């Protein structure tokens, strides 16, 4: 385990502690989770360790829906941390967010700023919390993904499975079949395989 990874584990636990038990921290995944609204709000610490002891710290944030996890189980897929997500360095592209702070932080782990956990907690509250509130439901996530909303990763290309799992969880595969026609041929073929696999599954979503 590298010094940078150990640093992020300590930082993640410190952030979780600042939330007063609202989030549970999973050190192995650098993941903070809280149970909420038929799923979980999820934050994953990330960033580059390449030039340790000088590293970048940032975070992914997303919603994980209980019903979508059932779809993953039906498909035998590896469970994903979220079905709709964004990355803190992209905050400037989130139209209307109104956040003027940083989305990534450069840190010397040998001389770490004492207030970094407080700073990141504040960023989470001002960036991730509005995201969680906006995409509380499967329907809200479906609409945002389908319209390529600026607050989330585009499902076009390799992330098509996010919308697929949400549509499947809603029992609305017809929506996905129509939307997927806009994908590149390579991803259309993968999507058709996923649809077939789910339709053949005996597991009730």
Q: Quick check: is 170 in a domain?
A: yes
Q: Quick check: is 205 in a domain?
A: no
Q: Quick check: is 115 in a domain?
A: yes
Query: pTM of this prediction?
Result: 0.93
8-50 residue pLDDT tens:
999 999 999 999 999 999 999 999 999 998 999 999 999 888 8
Q: Quick check: is 106 in a domain?
A: yes
102-157 residue pLDDT tens:
999 999 999 989 999 999 999 999 999 999 999 999 999 999 999 999 999 999 98
Q: Quick check: is 138 in a domain?
A: yes
Residue 72's domain comprises 3-200
The total domain count for the chain is: 1
In angstroms, the CA 131 to CA 124 distance is: 10
SS3 state of residue 123: helix
Averaged pLDDT score across all residues of the chain: 93
Q: Quick check: is 139 in a domain?
A: yes
Q: Quick check: is 123 in a domain?
A: yes
Give the contacts of 202 (CB within 8 A, at least 6 positions apart).
none
62-73 residue pLDDT tens:
999 999 999 998
Q: Tell me the backbone φ, ψ of residue 24, rounded to 5 degrees.
A: -95, 135
Q: Quick check: is 86 in a domain?
A: yes
């Amino acid at each position: 385990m590298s010094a940078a990874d150990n640093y992020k584990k300590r930082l993640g636990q410190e952030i979780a502690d600042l939330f007063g038990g609202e989030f549970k921290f999973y050190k192995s995944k650098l993941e903070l989770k809280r149970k909420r609204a038929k799923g979980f709000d999820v934050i994953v610490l990330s960033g580059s360790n390449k030039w340790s002891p000088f590293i970048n710290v940032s975070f992914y944030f997303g919603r994980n829906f209980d019903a979508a996890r059932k779809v993953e189980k039906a498909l035998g897929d590896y469970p994903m941390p979220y079905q709709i997500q964004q990355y803190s360095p992209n905050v400037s592209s989130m139209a209307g967010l109104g956040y003027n702070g940083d989305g990534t932080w450069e840190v010397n782990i040998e001389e770490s700023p004492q207030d970094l956990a407080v700073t990141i907690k504040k960023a989470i509250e001002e960036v991730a919390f509005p995201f969680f509130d906006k995409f509380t439901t499967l329907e809200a996530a479906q609409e945002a993904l389908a319209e390529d909303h600026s607050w989330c990763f585009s499902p076009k290309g390799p992330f098509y499975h996010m919308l697929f799992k949400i549509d499947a969880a809603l029992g609305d595969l017809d929506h996905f079949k129509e939307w997927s026609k806009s994908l590149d041929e390579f991803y259309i073929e993968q999507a058709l395989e996923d649809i077939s696999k789910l339709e053949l599954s005996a597991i009730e979503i």
